[in-house]
Amino acid sequence: MKNLLILMAFLGLTLSAQAQVAVVVNKNVAESSLTKETVKKIFELNQLRWGNGDKIAVFDMKGDGPSKDKFYEALGVSVSDLRKIWMRMQLTGEAKAPKGVKSDAEVIQQVSTTPGAIGFVMADQATDAVKVVLTLP
């Protein structure tokens, strides 16, 4: 019985770790960590530049998927509300909507090769090609 409880606890921890979302940036971004509030500002296009003045290039998942659902749930915003914000910002010329990508692998590829880039992937998909600046439950 004791072994079963230990196994169940281990599996629960493993599953919760796999369910985390990593916010990733290009390795040349000066920031080594970000708060959830800062990430929310970036994805709402309220923060368009990094602390050193470099432009931020935002990458978002096209369609639905586990990383997208978990990411926006953790930030406390809905995809539909963000799309409205992005459309308004584009129409007024204030900012461009995030670039859409199809998979975690494409996020890693785009973020690793685009200066100032930020995106999100399932935590177990993050590689050393990018810098993880925040992990969300």
Q: Per residue, what are the HEC states of the chain?
A: CHHHHHHHHHHHHHHHHHCCEEEEECCCCCCCCCCHHHHHHHHCCCCCECCCCCECEEEEECCCCHHHHHHHHHHCCCHHHHHHHHHHHHHHCCCCCCEEECCHHHHHHHHHHCCCEEEEEEHHHCCCCCEEEEEEC
Per-domain boundaries in the chain: 19-136
The band of 124, judged by pLDDT with boundaries at 50, 70 and 90, is very high
Average pLDDT taken over every residue of the chain: 90
pTM for the model stands at 0.86
Give the mean model confidence (pLDDT) for residues 77-88.
Answer: 94
- pLDDT per position as a tens digit, 89-117: 999 999 999 999 999 999 999 999 999 99
| pLDDT value for 65 | 86
Tell me the CATH architecture of domain 19-136.
3-Layer(aba) Sandwich (3.40)
pLDDT of amino acid 33: 98
